[in-house]
Each structure stands twice: as C-alpha cells, then as structure tokens.
Amino acid sequence: MGRFDGTVAFVTGAARGQGRSHAVRFAKEGADVIAVDICKQIPSVDIPLATPSDLGETVRLVEALGRRIVWAEADVRDASALEKVVAEGVSTLGRIDFVIANAGVVSMGTDEPDPLQAFRDVVDVNLTGVWNTVTLSLPTLLAQGRGSVVITSSTAGIKGIGGPSGGGQGYAASKHAVVGLMRNFVMNYSAQGIRFNTVHPTGVNTPMIVNELMAKIFAEAPDMADAAKNLLPVDMVEPDDISNAVLWLCSEEARYVTGVALPIDAGFTVR
C-alpha cells in the first residue's frame, strides 16, 4: 500500500531532473501520473532543455512501477495544448489530486543577443506557464473538493540572485512572482479545500545546473560561485530531496499546511 494509492499527480517539466523525480516518486507511492514537457529547445535559453527521449525515459520508469501515465510533449506557455493534456488525463485516469507546477527554465549567459527576449521567455515559462498549469487544473480540483498544488520556485524566489543578464533577471523575477501567485490562490480557493505551497530549492544536481555553460559561468565569475554556496557542507542537493518535500506537502501529514514558501536549501537563504 502506498501513500497515494488511487490518486493522480499532474507534473510539468517531467522529462528529467526534479520533474522526473517527482513523477517517479508519486508512482512509487501508488499514484498515476500526467506528465508534460516541452522536449525542444527555446532559442533564447542557453542551457540545453529536455528531449523526447528524456520524456520517454520518465514514461518507462513510471510504467515499470505498474502505474498508468498520460504524457505529452507540450509547452506550458501554450494554454490550448496544456488544456488538451489535462482533458485527456482526466478522461483516462479519472481525476487530478496533485498539481506539481515544476516546469521552468533559466538563461544565465551574459552574451545574450536579445536580453529582452530572454527575459520574456523565462518569465513566460516560469510564471505564465505556472498560471496556465494551475488554472487549467482548478476546475477538476474544485469539483472534487480537495487537492494540493505545489509550485517550484527557487532560492532565487527568496533572494535576488540570478546574475545581471536578461534571462537571469527574468529568473529571479519569475521565481519571486510565483510566490505571490501562490498566495493569491490560497486567498481565493482555501474555502474550497485546495492547498497551495511553493518549494524553494538551492542548487539541485540536475542538467539545469550541471552543464558546460554553468561550469563556464562559475569559472569566469568566482564571486557568483561563492554566492551560490550553501551553509551545510554540500555543493548541491539531489532531486529526491525536493521530491521528499513535495510529497510531504501533498500528503495527509501536511493537510493543514498551505500558503507556505518552503526552502529546501541547505541553509543557503540565511547566508
């Protein structure tokens, strides 16, 4: 028996990294999964994004646990595409209990050809994409009279980190903004039994952080690398550490926890 037998978790950005970890952990605990990821590159984003084969591996891992999964290559900025995924997921799996609005991008390069476009794209994915994900799921949650929504923010949603580039500033702005969005949802939907929280990871051992570009940026800007250090003696946390928090927030143990911005940051934000 799993903690989430008979439930359905909707996870965006599910092809790799934190999103894959969340999808697989929910499946291990008995939940079926709706999974989406863009699975292609956004031109202004300088860090490689997930591929169709990455999403295919997430699907394989969930199915290997004996759980059902409805999946699609969909851009969270595209409300019409996302609406179709939600409709198919509810039609096939019967419900949505947990919404994990995890999809996000970062663009940290300082040689951006178009800083304004980089800013717009990061904000559109990280903020508009979250709004699309949550609002398109809400009718199902409201009809059920219960549900838990967890939005992935960042330590950049607590401190003004992210660097001076358009994409980096868009990252800090969007990760702060989803906290305000979460609090607005709490004010409007708590009476209907829906809970909303954000999680704020420090650096996580995923391809968003562990890649050649980020290594180059930190090598060329030691002050930025120093600013990214945690207080606990660990360079990065693991995706499963974030999944532990996400699953707890969705569990009955956290049934009265709502409106919380929860750091999983190894002490980073108190530096």
**CA dist., res. 198 & res. 224, Å (int):** 25
**CA dist., res. 175 & res. 159, Å (int):** 10
Please name the residue ranges forming H helices in 190-238. 212-220, 222-227
47 three-class SS: coil
Token pair for 156: 């950049």
Given 98, 171, 196, 268, the catalytic residue: 171
Tell me how long the chain is.
271
Looking up tokens 């790799």 gives 16
**CA dist., res. 87 & res. 199, Å (int):** 26
CA distances from residue 54 to 59, 205, 255 in whole angstroms, order as listed: 9, 16, 33
**CA dist., res. 45 & res. 148, Å (int):** 30
Cβ neighbours of 270 (radius 10 Å): 9
Token pair for 111: 């040689």
Taking Cα atoms as reference points, which of 167, 178, 93 lies closest to residue 134?
A: 178
37 three-class SS: strand
Strand (E) positions, 20-97? 32-37, 69-73
Contact 85, 137 (CB under 8 A): no
Annotation marks residue 171 as catalytic: yes
Q: Catalytic residues, which ones? A: 171
